[in-house]
Amino acid sequence: MKPERSEQSKLSREAEFLIDANIFLEVELGQRKAYPCEEVLRKFHRGDLKGMALDFAVDTIVIIMENYGKKYNEIRTFLSSLLGYKGLSIHFSTLLDRIMATTYMKNFGLDFDDALALRAMKENGIVNIISHDKDFDKVPDVKRVTPESLL
């Protein structure tokens, strides 16, 4: 069941983590670190952990899945599964968010998707990001957490 907009806003306010796209991709592509990522995502699915993902990250995941030869039904399954996560909200970035993210690109040497993630974190008061991307380690006031550390 799709959460109502007010429920999504509540989840965003309660979010302790931003979940980077690479966590979902490990699972969807059956990569080397898939097991711990899947276990952590189960915690968000059950609502044991509260977090959010970017709409931009969801689109990125779909594009990468398609590039890896995943078919429409696998993409639909992934997208549909997101509706069932009790502890996950999706942050919808605005054009202003995208413009402001370019400042983080300049200040921290981040690529656009990482800068947009940082913008969403700042906007929502989140300091923890679940990611394998070490680029976040150079950002003050951001704590990168690996899935393995949450098991």
Q: Is 16 within 8 Å of 129 (Cβ atoms)?
A: no
Q: What's the predicted TM-score (pTM) here? A: 0.91
Domains with residue ranges and CATH for the chain: 5-143 (3.40.50.1010)
- Quick count: other Cβ atoms within 10 Å of Cβ 149? 10
Give the per-residue pLDDT at 62: 98
Residues of the chain with pLDDT > 70, as a percent, come to 92
Alpha-carbon distances of 11 from 23, 48, 78, 104, 149, rounded to whole Å: 19, 12, 20, 25, 23
Phi, psi (degrees; rounded to nearest 5) at 125: 65, 30
In the structure encoding, which two tokens stand for residue 29, read together?
């592509």
Q: Which helix (H) or strand (E) covers residue 18, if one does?
A: strand 17-19
Answer with the residue of higher pLDDT: 43 or 10. Answer: 43
Q: Is 71 within 8 Å of 81 (Cβ atoms)?
A: no
Quick: pLDDT tens for 95-126.
999 999 999 999 999 999 999 999 999 999 99
